[in-house]
């Protein structure tokens, strides 16, 4: 089965090269383009303050994060969880840059480009010249943004999973998933199967319509009275 992981992070600022750190990481698991319900989520102690603007975005204070695990505490679990799966990220350069900076601090192998699918690139190709932020894409696909006044890594990963499925034509996959889920709650003999229905139903043949001679002659006279009638041309 094709396993994909949709990842989002929240950080103390915009530039990992200036010492900014990951403070939240959220991952949503997909298999064969369907959500499994599996996820990976941690708040992390960055051992530093967030920039004021960054904290306004994610709402995570230093006080809230002080007693959380450090990235080094969950690094092995993170690597084990992602394994060799494809990774779905929106604006991959940002998140992958931060993740790899954290892995480098732990003297661990970093993520490589072959693992990454960047939904920002997919969206730019599909919506040329249009805004392709996560919010904009959610609005384009009528994905509910309720509660996103404050960003959250797991919340945004779930939103991105929905956007990704839409970008790759996954609305049908999502519909199939919903139908399958509903059917799983029904007794087997109550599950409707369209293929079986088409195979087993008796199709009644159409009855031939009978036209009496008077009606036929009236119709023929009407047709022949039409100037340049196509029927005259066919007859000739």
Write out the catalytic residue numbers: 151
* Burial class of residue 152 in the structure, from the number of CB atoms within 10 Å of its CB (0-12 exposed, 13-18 middle, 19+ buried): buried
Report whether 65 contacts 43 (CB < 8 A): yes
The CA distances from residue 158 to 7, 94, 220, in Å, are 9, 18, 68
Phi first, then psi: give them for residue 98, nearest 5 degrees. -70, -45
Q: Could you give the 3-state DSSP secondary structure of residue 100?
A: helix
Two structure tokens written together for 97: 């840059």
């Amino acid at each position: 089965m094709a396993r994909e992981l949709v990842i989002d992070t929240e950080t103390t600022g915009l530039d990992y090269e200036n010492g900014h750190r990951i403070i939240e990481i959220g991952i949503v698991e997909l298999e064969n383009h369907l959500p499994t319900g599996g996820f990976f989520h941690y708040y992390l102690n960055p051992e530093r303050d967030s920039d004021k603007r960054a904290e306004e975005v994610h709402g995570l204070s230093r006080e809230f994060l002080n007693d959380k695990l450090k990235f080094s505490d969950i690094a092995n679990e993170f690597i084990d969880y992602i394994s060799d799966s494809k990774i779905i990220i929106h604006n991959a350069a940002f998140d992958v840059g931060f993740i790899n900076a954290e892995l480098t601090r732990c003297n661990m192998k970093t993520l490589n480009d072959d693992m990454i699918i960047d939904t920002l690139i997919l969206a730019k190709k599909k919506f040329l010249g249009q805004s392709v932020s996560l919010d904009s894409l959610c609005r384009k696909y009528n994905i509910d943004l309720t509660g996103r006044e404050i960003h959250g890594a797991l919340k945004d990963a779930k939103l991105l999973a929905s956007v990704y499925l839409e970008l790759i034509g996954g609305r049908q996959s999502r519909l199939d998933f919903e139908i399958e889920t509903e059917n799983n709650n029904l007794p087997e003999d109550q599950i409707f199967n369209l293929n079986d229905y088409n195979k087993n139903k008796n199709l009644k043949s159409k009855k031939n319509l009978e036209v009496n001679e008077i009606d036929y002659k009236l119709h023929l006279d009407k047709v022949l009275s039409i100037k340049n009638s196509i029927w005259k041309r066919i007859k000739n």
